[in-house]
Structure 1
Amino acid sequence: MGVIIHPLSVQNIKQDCMPTISPRMERLFKEFLSRYHEWRSYQKREIAWLTATMLMGLTNLATWASIPSAWAINILLFLLFLGVLHYYLSIKQKVTHLYINVHILYLHFLGKLEVGFCEHPGNCQCAEQFKKYVWEHYRISFYEDKL
């Protein structure tokens, strides 16, 4: 048996580009995206520091249980654990603050999509096209009211 190779026809495929929106809406969307990406990066940091805090706490407990006579090591590990915990809590507070900002911008932009997204006089699909574009490129859903 042989393999038959058929040449594929190359078509001009239109590049997916952002639907046309007003400059004001574009600035609002760019602001939302920048804050959204900042929030997501801080979420990743929060998970990393939570893991470090848990490991540090478990190490501290294991050291206290296995070597109770090594007071200097135990106290040093406990102080290190407190430092890691303090930094984790500050990151968590920053994540909460950023989430509130992102959520407010998200709801504001969602309201704009519902009410006044474009200046077309009749029914149009601008908002739906924009929602689809954002979902396909950024995996952010504007189809419901939660992030």
Structure 2
Amino acid sequence: MDNLTEDQRRKNMQAIRSTGTKAELLLMKTLWSLGYRYRKNNKTVFGKPDITFKKLRIAIFVDSEFFHGKDFETKKKPVNNADFWEKKIRRNMERDNEVNTHLIQSGWTVLRFWTNQIKKDLPTVIATIEHHLSSKNPIP
């Protein structure tokens, strides 16, 4: 049973953002301060990645653990509106795989990071991105 009223839950769910999350902003600001220039939420790239380096063909996604199904099979499932959430999360996971497959077949490098991974271990995330950037763009 939900411990919030229907109005409180609606307000809570409306506050969830699809772009410009704290983890995305933290990653973007860090990359920008290191001198990397990118495009955010580029609609011209399939799947509309959170960050793109189009010339280098690198797409970066920042995925929420809940909405993108991290450990979905072993994690406790939502109780309220369970069928809706299960279908939605499973479809999100399918879509992520479809986007990955399409971009990889088109010659893109796809990097996906969980929000908690960015919040807790940003240096490793940045090192991973820098590794891919330098391997795609060797210094002459």
Normalised by the length of structure 2, the TM-score is 0.32
Normalised by the length of structure 1, the TM-score is 0.30
The structure with the greater share of residues assigned to strand is 2
> Between Structure 1 and Structure 2, whose CA radius of gyration is higher?
1
Higher relative contact order (CA 8 A, sep 6+): 1
The structure with the greater share of residues assigned to helix is 1
